Chains A and B, each alone.
Chain A
């Protein structure tokens, strides 16, 4: 089955990376913000073009009509070109337009995907584009399909800080070196991964689910290398799992 929520790209080096696709709802919100930005720029333009009234109302109106039309037409393409696939709305919502093959966006791509808004916006409220977005494999509206682009989510990324997770806490399990060695030997990579993932995501879990998950994991690890009761009697399920993960992932400390 093809995953519709990610775009997977395999590089010539054989490495695969996944880009999380933006859904129609977040894109709609970004569009609403962009329309508000266009309205704001237009109100500023009205003031800036005010002095043209000295040449007559006709000239001032003509310039405003042309400039507003150009603004609507080029806002998206210009912003996406200079901000590498982002407009104000996309920037605020953490979205970005990228090439469908993971390559660098070309000017022709951003121009065509924005030109085809004329069609995607039909008959009203971007219905055509919205329907295309819902039914296409990579959530693409017609402009994206023509330009070979996709819109992805770009949540704030940073290298994970394991110190926050594992260090700075007394690890009673590491005291019994022979049992710690047994843990390293018996914990499989898969179970170690599950333990680490559970710790990384613990704040996003429902409280009841969190208790249940860490209880099951702690019971599993306890059974692998039973520790003397005096070392673990005050240790709750979650600290137990954290200490086990610290032992297997930080073997040299």
Chain B
């Protein structure tokens, strides 16, 4: 059959234009929705454009008209066939319900992240015990590796928190951004089937273990707790949440115990990945502020007991939040 193309275009053009206008209206704001009557009209226009595309498909395989109609139908198809949940974002509900629930849904991935960090910490402390000269390698920060814990404690207690005078804000901002980058990178490495995430978590554990061993061995356990706990009880779990999310991605990639396609598995975890990523970023903002404005002050400015108590209270609240908040029975 040879189509009377001229007549066909003249007859159908008003419908295509109407469909295009509706699509442009929808595209102007991603939250726009059509009324039932408009939706029915939109659906009719979509079906008509689809039928027209089917007609011209036999006429010109890659022609201008087919390309135009294909583009029109593809845009309308995306609007018509989208059936995923589009609930409005509510920040408070997200924070108090969705984030802790997403955390609990993947708690085994979090436990794996904790286990890897603990193994790394064991390795780091053992390595420093066996080879004290490896300190520079195990702790790649000058502030930690170039002086003994006792020297640092004496220096910082003498400075009374003035070591960051005039740069606390900048220090805090750099901590927030750097730690967020590390946590998100740990998350992104889930795309290496989890191997990159494993490596980062283990390495973080090695550094942490070496620092802990160094200070405990030097008899500076109280200083260590007073310095690390206020920000560490939020910062370290945030990095672990990054690792948890990386393992969630890796699990979806590998697909153990699932018959769904890889694309379906990845699609299913996307909302949780975003929720956990945003949650860890929020945790790191808090940790960055605490590290710059509290952790760097030591005795005699702030008693260690107070700093340790602050850290323990934070740890308790975080644990309660992640394990209890948003639970179905508490609503």
A16 touches B57 (CB 8 A): yes
Q: Does A211 contact B (CB under 8 A)?
A: no
Q: Does A19 contact B (CB under 8 A)?
A: yes
B67 touches A157 (CB 8 A): yes
- Find chain A residues with CB under 8 A from B177 CB: 65-66, 69
* Number of CB contacts from chain A to chain B under 8 A: 178
B191 touches A145 (CB 8 A): yes
B82 touches A118 (CB 8 A): no
**A119-B191, A252-B7 given; A12·B81 CB < 8 A:** yes
B167 touches A112 (CB 8 A): no
Q: Does B201 contact A (CB under 8 A)?
A: no
- Alpha-carbon gap, A66 to B185, bound state (A): 18
**Residue interface mask A215-230, B partner, CB < 8 A = 1:** 0000000000000000
B64 touches A11 (CB 8 A): no
- Alpha-carbon gap, A142 to B180, bound state (A): 20
Sorting the interface of chain B by its residue count into under 10, 10 to 19, 20 to 34 or 35 or more gives 35 or more
A115 touches B65 (CB 8 A): no
- Alpha-carbon gap, A46 to B18, bound state (A): 45
**A58-B167, A58-B170, A197-B63 given; A109·B270 CB < 8 A:** yes
Q: Does A100 contact B (CB under 8 A)?
A: yes
Q: Does A102 contact B (CB under 8 A)?
A: yes
Which residues of A pack against B, CB within 8 Å? 9, 11-19, 56-59, 61-63, 65-66, 69, 81-82, 84, 98-100, 102-109, 111-112, 115-116, 118-119, 142, 145-148, 154-155, 157-160, 162, 166-167, 184, 187, 189, 192-193, 196-197, 200, 248-253
Extra inter-chain contacts (7) besides given A112-B273, A119-B196, CB under 8 Å:
A11-B73, A81-B30, A103-B77, A157-B68, A159-B68, A162-B6, A200-B64
29 CB < 8 A contacts A-B: A11-B77, A15-B51, A15-B53, A17-B69, A17-B74, A58-B169, A65-B170, A65-B173, A65-B174, A65-B177, A66-B173, A82-B30, A104-B79, A104-B82, A112-B273, A115-B184, A118-B181, A119-B189, A146-B191, A146-B270, A155-B67, A157-B72, A158-B68, A159-B16, A166-B6, A189-B59, A193-B59, A250-B6, A253-B6
